[in-house]
Amino acid sequence: MEKEFNTFKNVIRLPHKYAAGPTYTKFYNGLKESKILGTRCPSCAVTFVPARSFCPKCMKNLDTWVEVAQEGEVQTWTYAGKDFFGIPGKAPVVIVLVKLDGTEGSFLHLIGGINLESADTVKKALRKGTRVKAVWNEEKKGHMLDIKYFAPLSKKR
């Protein structure tokens, strides 16, 4: 016989603020100016974006700032057809990891400018390696969503 448990459905919200710190503050201020900033490790010859305060490969502090490309390649993506807690905007959304040109990669953002009706319509426009470009919001707040989304440059299949 299966044991029964009393359960109660609930939603816990935890509003909070956190200090962005000097590295993320500089990164977000760059977004206000339509610039994507990264930090470069001269020892490892690697550029990280969003900017990091230290190199995770050699652990050296990073203070070499560079403006990185606003174009890159899709590393992977996922389709969210239903709203969920923390979703940026309203479903459907496509969440993407982009390797901006000349960087280490894994820049997490959204895809737009294509038909988001279903995962199948997205598959027609997007795959690993698809070239994408940042599309900016007109109003900037020093926030990751100052970049409205990344849009495919062309339909390559």
Residues that bind Zn ion (CB under 5 A): 41, 43-44, 55, 57-58
Q: What is the distance between the alpha carbons of residues 45 and 39, in angstroms, rounded to a whole number?
A: 11
Alpha helices in 13-143 (DSSP H): 21-32, 119-125
Residue 28, C-beta contacts closer than 8 angstroms, at least 6 positions apart: 20, 142, 143, 144
Residue with tokens 């959304």: 93
CB closer to Zn ion, 62 vs 93: 62
Q: Is the peptide bond before 22 cis (omega within 30 degrees of 0)?
A: no
CB closer to Zn ion, 25 vs 43: 43
- Quote the least distance from Cβ 63 to Zn ion, whole Å: 12
CB closer to Zn ion, 57 vs 143: 57
- Quote the least distance from Cβ 93 to Zn ion, whole Å: 34
- Quote the least distance from Cβ 122 to Zn ion, whole Å: 36
- Quote the least distance from Cβ 43 to Zn ion, whole Å: 5
**Tokens for 111?**
């895809």
CB closer to Zn ion, 104 vs 146: 104
